[in-house]
Chain A
């Protein structure tokens, strides 16, 4: 029983964090564009999230006539479930995690891959050209960037020799991985922005070309699921960034780091224009991936060398 209460507590906290992240984003964008943003509901517009949720949930759900209805309903759920399940191995403090599994990082990777199916099936099942084109774009983008992120996570695993996130964080007590892997951490951040399909990589829902990408035919509560999954994965990836490269942390500290990275997503959104789709793909396949494969050859050699040094000069 208490287990379920724990689970509920965690997921409700994640949901609340996501809800307030949307308000935070609108406020941040507002101030960056010299306007106030939402300020009417609650103090400083804090309750805007609740108002938005109420509005979205009370709206009519329009079901396209020719759509594959089961798939149409299932796919946002798939997205949301995968985004939520990613959180289950997150160590919020030493020993404070849903499951302290030795293959937690592997499970997280697997779960974030499942999310792509939600996008893919959403576009296909809606039976609309905009949705289909949008989902083809976004699937290609997500798969490409996931390849990149996975390679980076594998390299981190290789260096630390563990797939357990708690252990991983513990190993960073001597040094944050972001310092020895500084260029890779920058690539990781760009990859994360692309993986979340956030601006400047939001070709998925480029309004001028595709109405709203794979989400075109979605309305009210089904749209909410997609929206939630997008923001959940954004928050998840910023937490994972702080955990993989910036030493994780305990409770508040981790939250602050994650917030900082979540803020950078908005900052980037307010600053940069959208890049062209072929350039996006080019950056992944022609620039980042060869570089990463180079690193994948370089890092083991470096480890071999360092191990030799450690055993030759044990006081190092």
Chain B
């Protein structure tokens, strides 16, 4: 004889745990996070806007300064050129004749190009 279920069946089994739900409802978390993200993007884009403005300002400052910077560079080149000539004069004074002949030889024979001395021997520019 097999045991049969009681008349009317077994009592319903409680399989679900009754845990207390903690915190807010999920949808509230969703909106909280979305709100924070929205605010974050808003503030971040304010920063981006500011960076763009700064970049624009820097570019225009550069445009206006460019002639001045070029002039300064040219002035520096000219100063170096004349100081190099002067240096050669000074060097020549203390040379033997054959050395002087060698010294006065052209280094470059191509006369089609202008070569300005950007780099000269000696210390930094302030010492010239």
To the question of whether A and B form a pair in one complex, the answer is yes
**Which residues of A are at the interface with B, using a C-beta cutoff of 8 A?**
159, 171-177, 179-183, 302, 306, 309-310, 314, 316
- Which 9 A/B pairs are nearest by Cβ-Cβ distance? A174-B47, A180-B40, A179-B40, A175-B43, A175-B44, A180-B41, A306-B45, A180-B44, A180-B37
- Chain B residues near A171: list those with CB within 8 A: 47-48, 51
| B residues in contact with A177, CB < 8 Å | 44
**A159 CA to B43 CA, complexed, in Å:** 13
Query: In the docked arrangement, what's the CA distance between A35 and B42, Å?
Result: 47
B-chain residues with CB within 8 Å of residue A182 when the two chains form the complex: 33, 36-37, 40
Could you tell me the distance between the alpha carbons of A224 and B36 in the complex, rounded to whole angstroms?
Answer: 44
B39: Cβ under 8 A from any A Cβ: yes
| B52 partner residues in chain A, CB cutoff 8 A | 310
Verify if B73 is at the interface (C-beta below 8 Å from A).
Answer: no
Cα distance A176–B39 in the bound complex, in angstroms? 11
B interface SS class: helix
Nearest chain A CB to B20 CB, angstrom units: 21
Q: Can you show 8 pairs from A to B with CB atoms below 8 A apart?
A: A173-B47, A174-B47, A174-B48, A176-B40, A179-B37, A306-B41, A316-B45, A316-B46
B49 interface residue (CB < 8 Å to A): yes
Which residues does B use to contact A, with CB under 8 Å? 33, 36-37, 39-41, 43-52
Contact: B41 with A174, CB < 8 Å?
Answer: no
In the complex, what distance in Å separates the CA atom of A316 from the CA atom of B46? 7
Q: Could you tell me the distance between the alpha carbons of A314 and B40 in the complex, rounded to whole angstroms?
A: 18
B40 proximity list for chain A (CB < 8 A) = 175-176, 179-182
Apart from A175-B43, A176-B40, list 20 A-B contacts with CB within 8 A: A159-B44, A172-B47, A173-B47, A174-B44, A174-B46, A174-B47, A174-B48, A174-B50, A177-B44, A179-B37, A179-B40, A180-B37, A180-B41, A180-B44, A182-B37, A183-B37, A302-B41, A306-B45, A314-B49, A316-B45
Chain A residues within 8 Å of B51, by CB: 171
Q: Which residues of B contact A181 (CB under 8 A)?
A: 37, 40
Min C-beta distance of A211 to chain B, whole Å = 38
Instruction: Tell me how far the C-beta of B52 lies from the nearest C-beta in chain A, rounded to whole angstroms.
Output: 8
Q: How far is the CA of A182 from the CA of B47 in the complex (A)?
A: 18
Report B68 CB to chain A, min CB distance, Å. 26
Given A171-B51, A310-B49, A316-B49, A183 contacting B33 (CB threshold 8 A): yes
- The answer to whether residues A174 and B43 also contact, given A310-B49, A316-B49 and a CB cut-off of 8 A, is yes
